[in-house]
Structure 1
């Protein structure tokens, strides 16, 4: 089964319910072992990437990541295009709840045209590598004024090839202490989570809860992940 078929066969009704309830959700594996290993193997092909970041240089953490250049590898292009429409429906629902006035197109091509109108033309999907002692500080991936409310991270490594390295997601609740989530993935699974904020319902209606994400310290082994971000960068 090809990647578009795997995406369309997901139980999107259940996934959307869980996103609305918790703000994030883990999908069934969308990448098989061979595809995960192919992406890991291509990490050394520098011609595929437009930029390489050493996290420690910028005090982002300890590790390395690379942004893919255009054209994106077919696997990543299929994930990006295939995941977008259903997530755009949820994004529009959140926008209505929070009365932001923002409406997201229901196909990726139209959304990327909007990004280009804001001078955001650089692709943002990336691959990340952490070795023993590596970690990623809590952050957000915005890249400009135009951003999509969701992004997806896929675990490429076998979950038995490293220890530690849990995905961290933190709600920064207004006038209250923050709430954290520790999330573990299996190879090929995708985690959908908010890029900036999620809606939460209170006595006076919906309000924004800021979200940040990161990765806990790797105790042993090497961890590769693929980040699929839908908006482009300046």
Structure 2
């Protein structure tokens, strides 16, 4: 089944509602076992991946493998199809926040805006975290054209391939303590998450809340994950 059909069959009204209320929406079993295996096998064996130690980025311990050129299938097709479903949500968020910016309907048009603004550094990557490794709280929000959502996925079996390594998000609301959230991901699960900000309705209308995400310390084994971004960095 092509990725566009897979994603079209998802309950997008429910996903939009979860993004509005929580800032994330888990998509159980989105990746088939053979897709999970093929993606995980790219680590260490794909010349198109640029290795970046998390320590060199001051983002924790472990390793990132960044896709330097065009994404391989099925990631390229997923990125395009996901964007087309998420752009209306992103535009509704901007409207709620009285932001004039509107995202184009097609990913290629948005990436052209990225290129014109000097945003040409890919952000989508695989990650590999071993025992005692972790990914610090962060967000990918550099540049003039930042898409407010991204997709993450787990490519290893929690409790079998590794222990610990929970995917964590924090949400900072004005004049309130940060709200922690743990996403219960299993091997093959994906999630749409807010990249850096989202609107939240208060008593006086909508306001921005700030979000970051991280991976807690791996206690044993090896955790492999995926982050799929829709914008590039400067």
TMscore range, shorter length: over 0.9
2:89 is matched with 90
More helix by share: 1
1:148 is matched with 147
Q: Does 1:13 align with 2:13?
A: yes
2:99 is matched with 100
SS at 1:6's partner residue?
Answer: helix
Q: State the TM-score, normalized to the length of structure 1.
A: 0.96
1:203 is matched with 203
SS at 1:209's partner residue?
Answer: strand
Task: State the distance in 1 between where 2:17 and 2:75 align.
Answer: 25
SS at 1:120's partner residue?
Answer: coil
1:25 is matched with 25
2:168 is matched with 168
Tell whether the 8 Å contact from 1:115 to 1:231 is kept in structure 2 after alignment: yes
SS at 1:42's partner residue?
Answer: coil
Gaps of 5+ in 2: none
Tell whether the 8 Å contact from 1:10 to 1:28 is kept in structure 2 after alignment: no
Tell whether the 8 Å contact from 1:148 to 1:195 is kept in structure 2 after alignment: yes
- Give the superposition deviation at 1:229: 0.3
> What is the 5 A alignment of 1:1-234?
1-49=1-49, 51-159=50-158, 160-234=160-234
Tell whether the 8 Å contact from 2:20 to 2:200 is kept in structure 1 after alignment: no
- Cα deviation, 1:8-66, whole Å, max 9, x if unaligned, reads 111111111111121110013221111111111111124112x3211123331111101
Task: State the distance in 1 between where 2:181 and 2:82 align.
Answer: 23
Aligned residues: 233
Q: State the TM-score, normalized to the length of structure 2.
A: 0.96
Gaps of 5+ in 1: none
- Give the superposition deviation at 1:106: 1.3
Task: State the distance in 1 between where 2:62 and 2:28 align.
Answer: 27
- Give the superposition deviation at 1:86: 1.3
- Divergent runs of 4+, >4 A: none
